[in-house]
Structure formats: C-alpha cells, structure tokens
A and B are shown apart, each in its own frame.
Chain A
C-alpha cells in the first residue's frame, strides 16, 4: 500500500515539475495539458456483508495554464462505468384493469452501473461554458435501441425512463461536487458504489475539459469481484449448474431429515 502511494505521488509530481520548467519560457499556452490518475484500490470485494463502497480517485493536471486555472476554466469529470450488457426496458399498460407489460425496447451494450463526479454542476445551463461532449454523463450515454422502432417519441420516452429508473435504483449516480481540487493541480474525486453494484470489470475514466472542450482523458480498470463463498456459489451456479442443483437438493434433504431426527421425542 505504501509503495503504491509513493508510486502515485512520484507519478503526480514528476510531470508537474517538467511543466514548471517550461513556464518560465513563456510557452505555457502551447504546451499540451495532461492528466494523470490513480485509484485508491484496483479491486473491490463484494463480501457477504457488502453494503456498497466508496472509491477515491486521485489525479493531477499537468501543464495547466495558471490563469485559466485561477478563473476555473478547467473542469474535471470522473466516471465509473460498470460492465456493459443489453438492457430491456418494459412499459406497462392497463388491460382489463390489470397492469401488464405491453411494450418493450432493448438497448444495446449499456453500462449496468454508472457513477459520475465532476467539479461543477453538469446540466446547469446558467454555468458557462457548458460541458456536453464525448458522451460523458448520464444524459449523454448512448442508448441505441435494437430492432425496428415505430415511433421516435416513444424512443425518447423509453430512454428517459431508463435513466430515471437507473438513477432511482442507485445504479446510476451523479455527484455534482464529487471532484475537489486539493491543490492547484491535484484533485480528488469520490465515487460511491451502490450495494447492488454488478460484479465484473468497471472502468474509471477521468476527463479534462478546458473551457468546456474535452482535452484529454485517462482510464483505469477496476475489478469488482465477489469474494470467498459468494464467488464460489456464483461460479458453481453458472459453470456447473447441474452439480449446483444437486447440492441444493442434497442440502434440503439433509436439513429436512436432520430436523426429523433432532426433534424426535424418543
């Protein structure tokens, strides 16, 4: 852990000193801004008492223009994207008094979970310059339906419902002020992983914006794994379903049989 921290800080400060070396030459505007990030951990374990987890992402801007930095023209967005899969959204309608799923739409390869933290409010139009590039943010995630769509208005309804449901389930999260500058170029982002976070490889992405335009981005994989017994059970259930089913039945038989012995009167 300590060695990792040392590594992280050397990572942060070495490019920064290089940057300073160039500033006195009066060429700060031509040097390209860079971004480096590090994560507090690269693996999150889902244990039997898992109730969600916090993830801290550290990062540093390099070659930042001091003036633009001072007036807050740089923006940083950090996202944590879950594994991608197809997603089906269904809509209920009332038929004979009963609410029945009548319509559905399948979106291709969308992240199962998505957390976003940023230096300022993303969808606030009063704050300039606006940031909405590169598909960053829950509102800009690509939601491409599969198959024939009869009605475009319907499509936007389904997209809107998808985002709303994901947000309310906690799988999608936005933290407007989740990114804080620790010093002029060093920042820290806090992301929250919900208790129902899917396991698999997640991707931490950091984006650097200058005056609302995307300059550069960095990404680091983060593995979310079920540990110990949970992992063994999930693996068994999916890889050896027959043996798993057999064990389930045997446990039930032994429990029932055991109870009839334990609670026998004689």
Chain B
C-alpha cells in the first residue's frame, strides 16, 4: 500500500518536470536509432580513477536507461546504477562512490521543483540531514574497514540482495492486488495513516511548522542516520526507504515528504561524495559525468512514457525490474565463482 503512495508522490513531482520541445518521431523509432548507434561502435574512454578503458556507448546507454526508468517510475536510480556498474566490471569501490555522485545530479532538479512549490520542510529536512551526515560518516568508516578486510564486495552485494528482493516482492504483491481490484472495478480502499503510534510518545519533541506536525527529533535523526549509512555503503539516495518510513512511521503529511527527502538526499550524497573522494579516492568524475548527462536526458523520455502507462502496471514493471537486479546479484553470491582466488593491489590498510 505504501508503494502506491510512494509512486503517486514521485510521479507527481516528476510529472512537473517540463519536457523538451517535441521530437515528432515516435519514441520507438528513436530508441531503435539509439540501439543501432550502440551496437555498431566501440569508442573507448579511459576512466582515470577506475583505471580501465570502457566503451563510452555502454556507459551512456546505462545512464540513459537508468535515467529513463527513473523518469518513468519516479525514483532516484542509484539502486540500479551501482549494480549495473558492478556487472560491467567497474570496481565496487568506484561504483558506489560514483553512484552517490550521480544521485546528487538526479535529485537536484526534483528538489528545485519542490522548493519552488513550497513542498519542502527545511526544518524537518535539516534534522534528517543532521542524522544523515553522521550516518554517512559512520558508513564510510564501515566501508573502509570492510575494504581493508576484503569483505566489501560481498557486503555490498548482500545489502543489495536483501533490499532489492524485499522491496521488489512487496511492490509486486501490492501492484498485483491493485490490478486485480481494478479489473473487478472495485474502488481502492485508501487506508488513512493513523494519528499516533509509539514513535509519537518519544521525548525531545519539536514543532515542524511547514509539515504541521509536532514530533520527537529522535526517530527523525535515527532515520536520517540509517539512510546516511546506506548512502555511503550502497551509493544510493535512499528515497526508496525514506519516503515510506516518513509516511507510515513518522506520519509526516504526504505533500512534503518527497521534497524533504530529496533535500536530505542531495546533501547526504554530496557529503558522501566528498568523504569518499577524501578517504578512498574512489569517485570517478569522468564516469559520473557521462552517467549524469545521459541520466538527466533519459529521464525526460522516461517521464513521457510513464504518463502513458497505468499506475499499477508501472509499479508491477518496476517491481519486476527491482527483483531481477536483486536475483541477478543473489545468483552471483551463490554460484561457485570461476576462480576461488582473487588479487588486489596493496597490502594492509590500503
């Protein structure tokens, strides 16, 4: 159920994205041209931080595809970019740090829109952010420690598998139920969030005027903290988890949720990018820039396609996609690797 809300919120903000001057060719035709360009060429570009040469069209295609999906479904896309980069043999260390950098770009325009419309609670966002920055710092420590003991890749994959399969299954279940209901022409019962739960009995209460809510700072900071850890370990914005948690756990009014979470995401991902750059030297600006540019353009087309599809179909598709990425990563954990050994340059504490 929360996913329906989430989707409605995201699409609302994404649909506000204005679209380009119309290209009259049908989208399918343009896609075919794009695929043709993809298959025929092998222009390599050297990524100075990842220290390898990649086909620029594959990276552009990845960025555009994830941008397209993020526009279509109204999600940030960090949770797709990082695994895709790992599948394409970019070292996970670089993929995560660069993914965080890319999320900064994809969240900015959304946040600007919300700021203009006044659907952004600065005070609430700042409290979330305070937790987020601490979380991101702790996350980078954990990240560096895992890297030094050689368990980083495993940990990243595990977190992704758990998160993606759980969310994917929840979404699929919810959207299938919605589709069945729609077929029977039953109106969807909209469950109203209850007024109070245990969260509201915590001390240290603060008044958030814009959200018209009187709420303890403890769960807000904690939520920000946990999302901050995810940002620095997984290279995601974390809106996926933050939005439903804000709606259903903190009972924050839905109209300010997406704007406020985007506000927090921008600063936490920006901060993570800085800390990753300073401690692990792993932000690849060339890779990030290609992904950003392709991503913001792809998103424009994604929004248009998204407007033509029905909400529950869209959510079912997204659920399948999320599940597919999760399962692909899970298979990687369970099948016997081709070589049991691996080599890394550097010794203790590199």
CB–CB B106/A49 < 8 A: no
A90-B344, A233-B285 in contact; A253/B105 too (CB < 8 A)? yes
Flag whether A251 is at the interface (Cβ < 8 A). Answer: yes
Query: Which residues of chain B are near A146, meaning CB under 8 Å?
Result: 347-348
CB–CB B108/A257 < 8 A: yes
CB–CB A255/B296 < 8 A: yes
A61-111 CB contacts (< 8 Å) to partner B: 85-94, 97-101, 104, 106, 108
Contact with A along B293-311 (1 / 0, CB 8 A): 1001101100000000000
CB–CB B109/A251 < 8 A: no
CB–CB B112/A85 < 8 A: no
* Chain A: minimal CB distance from B274 (Å): 4
Flag whether A252 is at the interface (Cβ < 8 A). Answer: yes
CB–CB B341/A91 < 8 A: yes
* Chain B: minimal CB distance from A262 (Å): 8
B44, B270, B334, B348: the one within 8 Å of A249 (CB): B270
Flag whether A141 is at the interface (Cβ < 8 A). Answer: no
Flag whether A47 is at the interface (Cβ < 8 A). Answer: yes
Flag whether B26 is at the interface (Cβ < 8 A). Answer: no
CB–CB A97/B341 < 8 A: no
* Chain B: minimal CB distance from A109 (Å): 9
Identify 4 new A-B residue pairs, CB closer than 8 A, beyond the known A87-B344, A89-B341, A248-B273.
A46-B46, A47-B46, A93-B340, A257-B109
A222-253 CB contacts (< 8 Å) to partner B: 226, 229-231, 233-234, 237-238, 241-242, 244-249, 251-253
* Chain A: minimal CB distance from B126 (Å): 18
A97-B334, A99-B336 in contact; A253/B108 too (CB < 8 A)? yes
CB–CB B347/A86 < 8 A: yes
With a 10 A CB-CB cut-off, give which of A104, A168, A253, A256 has the most chain B CB atoms: A256
Query: Which residues of chain B are near A106, meaning CB under 8 Å?
Result: 347-348
A51, A230, A246, A263: the one within 8 Å of B300 (CB): A263
* Closest residue on chain B to residue A85 by CB atoms: B345
Query: Which residues of chain B are near A241, meaning CB under 8 Å?
Result: 277-279, 281
A248-B273, A260-B113 in contact; A265/B51 too (CB < 8 A)? no
Flag whether B342 is at the interface (Cβ < 8 A). Answer: yes
- Interface of B toward A, CB cutoff 8 Å: 17-20, 43-46, 48-49, 51-53, 101-102, 104-109, 112-113, 150-151, 154, 158, 270, 273-279, 281, 283, 285-286, 288-289, 292-293, 296-297, 299-300, 333-337, 339-348, 350
CB–CB B19/A101 < 8 A: no
CB–CB A263/B19 < 8 A: yes
CB–CB B150/A263 < 8 A: no
A92-B340, A238-B281, A241-B277 in contact; A100/B292 too (CB < 8 A)? no
Query: Which residues of chain B are near A218, meaning CB under 8 Å?
Result: none
> Complex formed: what's the CA distance from A146 to B350 in Å?
15
Flag whether A195 is at the interface (Cβ < 8 A). Answer: yes
Contact with B along A163-187 (1 / 0, CB 8 A): 0111011000000000000000000
> Complex formed: what's the CA distance from A173 to B280 in Å?
30
Query: Which residues of chain B are near A256, meaning CB under 8 Å?
Result: 104-109, 292, 296
* Closest residue on chain A to residue B104 by CB atoms: A252
Flag whether A31 is at the interface (Cβ < 8 A). Answer: no
Query: Which residues of chain A are near B340, meaning CB under 8 Å?
Result: 91-93, 99, 161
CB–CB A165/B44 < 8 A: no
* Closest residue on chain B to residue A157 by CB atoms: B341
Query: Which residues of chain A are near B108, meaning CB under 8 Å?
Result: 252-253, 255-257, 260
CB–CB A251/B48 < 8 A: no
CB–CB B46/A230 < 8 A: yes
* Closest residue on chain B to residue A165 by CB atoms: B343
Query: Which residues of chain B are near A247, meaning CB under 8 Å?
Result: 285
CB–CB B112/A99 < 8 A: no
Flag whether A158 is at the interface (Cβ < 8 A). Answer: yes
A90-B150, A242-B274, A245-B283 in contact; A50/B343 too (CB < 8 A)? no
Flag whether A219 is at the interface (Cβ < 8 A). Answer: no
> Complex formed: what's the CA distance from A50 to B47 in Å?
10
CB–CB B342/A92 < 8 A: yes
A158, A229, A246, A265: the one within 8 Å of B341 (CB): A158
Flag whether A13 is at the interface (Cβ < 8 A). Answer: no
List 8 A-B residue pairs with CB atoms under 8 Å apart, sorted by A's residue number: A87-B347, A99-B340, A161-B343, A196-B51, A256-B105, A256-B292, A259-B297, A265-B18
A49-B45, A237-B281, A255-B292 in contact; A86/B346 too (CB < 8 A)? yes
Query: Which residues of chain B are near A47, meaning CB under 8 Å?
Result: 46
Flag whether A124 is at the interface (Cβ < 8 A). Answer: no
> Complex formed: what's the CA distance from A245 to B277 in Å?
5
Query: Which residues of chain A are near B337, meaning CB under 8 Å?
Result: 92, 99
CB–CB A259/B285 < 8 A: no
Contact with B along A34-64 (1 / 0, CB 8 A): 0000000000001111110000000000000
Query: Which residues of chain B are near A231, meaning CB under 8 Å?
Result: 48
Query: Which residues of chain A are near B300, meaning CB under 8 Å?
Result: 263
> Complex formed: what's the CA distance from A81 to B170 in Å?
54
* Chain B: minimal CB distance from A233 (Å): 4
* Chain A: minimal CB distance from B198 (Å): 34
CB–CB B274/A245 < 8 A: yes
A233-B49, A252-B108 in contact; A245/B346 too (CB < 8 A)? no
Query: Which residues of chain B are near A169, meaning CB under 8 Å?
Result: 343
A233-B48, A237-B49, A244-B283 in contact; A90/B341 too (CB < 8 A)? yes
